[in-house]
Amino acid sequence: MFEDLRELYQEVIFDHNRNPRNFHVMENADRQVDGFNPLCGDKLTLFLKLDGDIITDASFQGSGCAISTASVSLMTEIIKGKTQAQAEELFTLFHEMTTGKEEHINLEAVGKLAVLAGVREFPARVKCATLAWHTLDAALKNQQQAVSTE
Amino acid sequence: MTYPIEQIRADFPILNEKIRNKPLVYLDNAASCQKPQAVIDSMVKLYSHDYANVHRGVHTLSIRSTDQMESARHKIKTFINAASDKEIIFVRGATEAVNLIAQTYGRANIHAGDEILITAMEHHSNIVPWQMLCEQTGAILKVAPMNVAGELLMDEFEQLLSAKTKLVAVVHMSNALGTLNPVEQIIALAHAKNIPVMLDGAQAIPHTAVDVQKLDCDFYVFSGHKLYGPSGVGVLYGKQALLEAMPPYQGGGDMIRTVSFEKSTYAGLPYKFEAGTPAIAEIIGLGAAVDYLNTIGMQAIADHEASLLAYATQQALQIDGLKIIGEAKEKGAILSFTLGRIHPHDIGTMLDSLGIAIRAGHHCAMPVMDFYQLPATARASFAMYNTKAEIDVLISGIKNLIEMFG
């Protein structure tokens, strides 16, 4: 019945929505930033633990749609062990992938984040996918203010 | 007489649209209604044959535009049974009307320590203008609570009416819950203490016949686009004596009698509140919408929508995991719901892929969402042209998306 949506709602996304990874409050986090999408009410808090330049741990709390939950869940998995510069590089690639500005997107470079490429076809949902990454960006830049997609 | 649903559907050209190769099922009427051909034609005719600026030129086109615009004012006066055309002020929408009242009536009559009473189910447009007024004046905003069904607690409402209360501003029908408030009782209680009442009718007016004199409300505000008219036009109704006593809102052309650099004098009603060139075509389009509604009859529309709501509610309640938000006994044609952990935004995208337009979000009523501790709801809202067959498409879509989500 939902043939048009198979690209957007892949099984991996349902899986992460049902069982979000790293879904807990982090004690003694080095960074903690709130992200908010006022359009749809998605809210998350991202926690990071840093060792020098390396992101050693990441977790989140919050509530949102399947796209935003899967996006932040996948993000916390993929950024663990990455340097801050590598994480920022992923953010750039992810942004290009979801906003579709690049003609030839390197899906290999983004690894399993590629399951979110389908949001390109749904402009109303792009912010759901990118909220997590904007929040990460703020956390890495050590901004204390809550992030809003507006 | 049977309700002429086939004829009505034929009158709305957009209902023939295909969305993602499926017939459009438009259930986002609480956000904005679609327009009948008569409204579209009235604007095309104006721009093709009769358009010029109003209230100034002596030339033929200016006279034609002015006559049509003033005729629309009269139609709207009759539609809500105001006492005079002078009580019909054209604004951009219900939001601007509330802001106008806050910044003119409010600034002149509401002072530090005074209270403004609203309810827990207001749209942001009937909250924020009062908060702004409170910041400017030191007045206090009071909020009458509701129960979990979404019904106003009338005992508490009555207790909140005090000697300090200078205005009651209440939504006639809640856009997030569908609740129809007991406005007659609210007005009687407030008037017993000489407190004027403003009703936010944006949501109510397309669903129910409104008689402002019978209600005896002091102000009634609504938007054209929710009444099958164009966007960009709305109406502020006010009792003439109140409007006469209020200072103007914006200064400019059309709202003056004389201007010199020393002092200007203001025009009489309704022009005192209509500075600048108005939304001429939109006002005329709204007049055409009212004509169209009169051919069907507001009671017939209300009856049709009541049967749609009853059917949709009964079908929805049979879906496992579906929770209806807003179960007031007196309710207009709005079905707000949640599906457990399936987020309303996902519901909205999935239904859209089936051609079904609903609203997903906080409905510009964040305090209502906070009350129910929800980030958002999905909302299907019905209009004069919807059918039970469309509700069947909605219900089947909901059942299928639940299955897909697993």
Residues B176-199: pLDDT tens digits? 999 999 999 999 999 999 999 999
- For chain A, domain boundaries: 3-141
Answer yes or no: do A4 and B344 touch at CB < 8 A: no
Query: Does the residue B33 lie in any domain?
Result: no
Domain end call among B295, B318, B340: B295
Which residues of A fall below an 8 Å CB-CB distance to B? Answer: 1-2, 4-5, 8-9, 14, 17-18, 39-43, 63-67, 69, 122, 124-125, 128
Of B351, B344, B334, B336, the C-alpha closest to B401 is B351
Answer yes or no: do A14 and B406 touch at CB < 8 A: yes
Residues of chain B with pLDDT > 90, as a percent, come to 95
Q: Are B315 and B395 in contact (CB under 8 A)?
A: yes
Which chain A residues contact residue B345 at CB under 8 A? 40, 42, 64-65, 67, 125, 128
Please report the pLDDT score of residue A149 as a whole number.
Answer: 73
Same domain, B283 and B205: yes
Dihedral sign (CA B250, B252, B257, B262): positive
User: Would you place residue A102 in the very low, low, confident or very high pLDDT band (cuts 50, 70, 90)?
Assistant: low
Confidence check: pLDDT of B174 > 80: yes
Chain A: closest CA distance from residue B345 (Å): 6
Answer yes or no: do B343 and A125 touch at CB < 8 A: no
Q: Are B167 and B106 in contact (CB under 8 A)?
A: yes
Confidence check: pLDDT of A150 > 80: no
pLDDT digit string, tens, across residues A25-69: 999 999 999 999 877 778 899 999 999 999 999 999 998 999 999
β-pairing verdict for B377-381 and B334-339: antiparallel
Please report the pLDDT score of residue A7 as a whole number.
Answer: 85
- The number of folded domains in chain B is 2
Query: Does the residue B34 lie in any domain?
Result: no
Residues of chain B with pLDDT > 70, as a percent, come to 100
Domain end call among B280, B295, B310: B295
Please report the pLDDT score of residue A15 as a whole number.
Answer: 93
β-pairing verdict for B115-119 and B140-144: parallel
Same domain, B369 and B380: yes
ipTM of the complex: 0.89
Same domain, B365 and B225: no
First and final C-alpha spacing in chain B: 46
Please report the pLDDT score of residue A3 as a whole number.
Answer: 84
The 10 Å Cβ neighbour count of residue B327 is: 17
Please report the pLDDT score of residue B375 as a whole number.
Answer: 86
Confidence check: pLDDT of A76 > 70: yes
Confidence check: pLDDT of A103 > 70: no
Among chain B residues, the shortest Cα distance to A3 is held by B353
Confidence check: pLDDT of B43 > 80: yes
The 10 Å Cβ neighbour count of residue B99 is: 23
Confidence check: pLDDT of B102 > 80: yes
Same domain, B104 and B206: yes
Please report the pLDDT score of residue B1 as a whole number.
Answer: 74
Range of the domain at B187: 40-295
Query: Does the residue B35 lie in any domain?
Result: no
Confidence check: pLDDT of B239 > 90: yes
Top residue of B124, B325, B345, B396 to mutate, by most chain A CBs within 10 Å, is B345
Please report the pLDDT score of residue A41 as a whole number.
Answer: 76
pLDDT digit string, tens, across residues B331-380: 999 999 999 989 999 999 999 999 999 999 888 999 999 999 998 999 99
C-alpha–C-alpha distance, residues B75 and B88, integer Å: 10
Same domain, B330 and B193: no
Query: Does the residue B52 lie in any domain?
Result: yes
Q: Are A118 and A80 in contact (CB under 8 A)?
A: no
Domain CATH code at residue B396: 3.90.1150.10
pLDDT digit string, tens, across residues B254-284: 898 999 999 999 999 999 999 999 999 999 9
Q: CB-based contact (8 Å) between B405 and chain A? A: yes
Q: CB-based contact (8 Å) between B357 and chain A? A: no
User: Would you place residue A101 in the very low, low, confident or very high pLDDT band (cuts 50, 70, 90)?
Assistant: low
Six token digits for residue B24: 């459009």
Q: Are B269 and B222 in contact (CB under 8 A)?
A: no
Query: Does the residue B178 lie in any domain?
Result: yes
| Inter-CA distances, A34 with A45, A126, A131, A144, B137, Å | 4, 18, 10, 9, 34
User: Would you place residue A104 in the very low, low, confident or very high pLDDT band (cuts 50, 70, 90)?
Assistant: low
| Inter-CA distances, A111 with A13, A68, A75, A77, A99, Å | 14, 18, 11, 11, 17
Same domain, B312 and B218: no
Domain end call among B230, B262, B295: B295
DSSP 8-state assignment for residue B110: -
Bridge partners of B361, per DSSP, are B377
Among chain B residues, the shortest Cα distance to A64 is held by B343
Chain B: closest CA distance from residue A41 (Å): 5
**Which segments of B76-229 are extended strands (E)?**
88-91, 115-119, 140-144, 165-171, 197-200, 219-223
In B246-365, alpha helices (H): 280-296, 298-316, 344-352
C-alpha–C-alpha distance, residues B223 and B99, integer Å: 13
Query: Does the residue B133 lie in any domain?
Result: yes
Of A89, A90, A58, the C-alpha closest to A76 is A58
CATH topology of domain A3-141: Sufe protein. Chain: A (3.90.1010)
Same domain, B160 and B209: yes
Confidence check: pLDDT of B244 > 80: yes
C-alpha–C-alpha distance, residues B196 and B219, integer Å: 8
Q: How many CB pairs under 8 A join A and B?
A: 60
Mean pLDDT estimate for chain B: 97
Answer yes or no: do B400 and A1 touch at CB < 8 A: yes
The 10 Å Cβ neighbour count of residue B338 is: 20
Which chain A residues contact residue B338 at CB under 8 A? none
DSSP 8-state assignment for residue B260: -
pLDDT digit string, tens, across residues B276-328: 999 999 999 999 999 999 999 999 999 999 999 999 999 999 999 999 999 99
Nearest CB partner across the interface for A41, out of B354, B362, B400: B362
Residues of chain A with pLDDT > 90, as a percent, come to 67
Answer yes or no: do B353 and A14 touch at CB < 8 A: no
Same domain, B182 and B104: yes
Nearest CB partner across the interface for B353, out of A2, A65, A66: A2
Confidence check: pLDDT of B143 > 80: yes
Dihedral sign (CA B21, B22, B23, B25): negative
Same domain, B304 and B291: no
Please report the pLDDT score of residue B249 as a whole number.
Answer: 96
C-alpha–C-alpha distance, residues A19 and A14, integer Å: 8
Confidence check: pLDDT of A1 > 90: no
Q: Mutual orientation of helices A126-140 and A66-79 as an angle, nearest 10°?
A: 40
Q: Are B393 and B26 in contact (CB under 8 A)?
A: no
Nearest CB partner across the interface for B353, out of A5, A14, A40: A5
Confidence check: pLDDT of B245 > 70: yes
C-alpha–C-alpha distance, residues B42 and B289, integer Å: 9
Catalytic status, residue B364: yes
